[in-house]
Amino acid sequence: MYNDEIMVNLSVNIGKLKLRNPVLVASGTFGCAEEFEDLIDLSKLGAIVTKTVTLAPKPGNPMPRTIETPYGMLNSIGLANQGIDDFIKHKITFLNKLKTAIIVSIAGEFQQELTRLTNILDQQSCVSGIELNISCPNIRGKTRLIAQDPKATYKAVKIVRKHTKKTLITKLSPNVTEITQIARAAQEAGSDALSLINTIYGMSVDLSKRKPHLAYGFGGLSGPAIKPIALYMVYQVAKQVELPVIGIGGIMNSKDALEFILAGATAIATGTVNYVNPKASIEIIKGIRKYLIKHKIKDIRNLRGALRA
């Protein structure tokens, strides 16, 4: 009986990061990992992407913020968080103990916000990379996302790139006409990688009250329902840019993850499934390994982009 740990190589490179495997947990679905400490072995993950942090505290959108839908869920959290000072004071100590890559998700509307956030995180040795979230679809008062404008995307990425040498990942929105145009803008501005997709605009109506279920009115749809859209966008972007792509959207098991890798993703991130099955990410890692062994593929990189289309 052979040791499957030796037989296949699951390691992947995302910018300057070398990850032990291609399975990450997506921002906004895993907190800052402490919530999952007693449920899974965090050291087995390829990387942890924290909940998005902003410069100042944000209360988020009014309740109710989430509603289950057939094949997924809608959320309108609105980037609720305690701000970067609280993050440094209360979250970094725990993250510093973990033996896996830590990628901190950040968001900001103005140059000074992104500059300050980046400068602070650049000084934290446990932070391996920064994910620039320019694509949250439910921020109160915003009529247009940064990720819906190539020029705004270029400017935001350029600001963060200027203030850090850490791996920079830009998170893209599916709520656009042509996502490859936005992807190229992020690449030109200096992003090391791209993650896609964020959630898709959606709403749900309460017939008895004749009003939306979500207090905000609409939110972002995630879960299995968006997987075909995410898969298509990852496939398109991976062909158009030279950056590693992290596939996100409706990934529930190793079969889903492998589809994204075949479509061109270097890595994948689990999201909504973390609420349904906290152990899903670990199960996906095992499932990918079993698939490689079964098909006598020694290196995960040989599977990337191998879709016969």
Asked, as a colleague might, if the bond just before 102 is cis with ω within 30 of 0, I would say no
Instruction: Single out the catalytic residue among 79, 136, 200, 248.
Output: 136
Do the Cβ atoms of 60 and 54 come closer than 8 Å?
Answer: no
Asked, as a colleague might, if the bond just before 64 is cis with ω within 30 of 0, I would say yes
In the chain, what is the straight-line distance between the N-terminal and C-terminal CA atoms, in Å?
A: 36
Do β-strands 101-106 and 47-49 pair in parallel, antiparallel, or remain unpaired? parallel
Q: How many whole angstroms separate alpha carbon 278 and alpha carbon 70?
A: 20
Give the closest residue to 199 by CA, choosing from 215, 221, 183.
221
Told to judge if 126 belongs to the known catalytic residues of this protein, a careful annotator would answer no
Do β-strands 127-133 and 167-171 pair in parallel, antiparallel, or remain unpaired? parallel
Q: How many whole angstroms separate alpha carbon 220 and alpha carbon 133?
A: 14
Which residues are known to be catalytic? Answer: 136
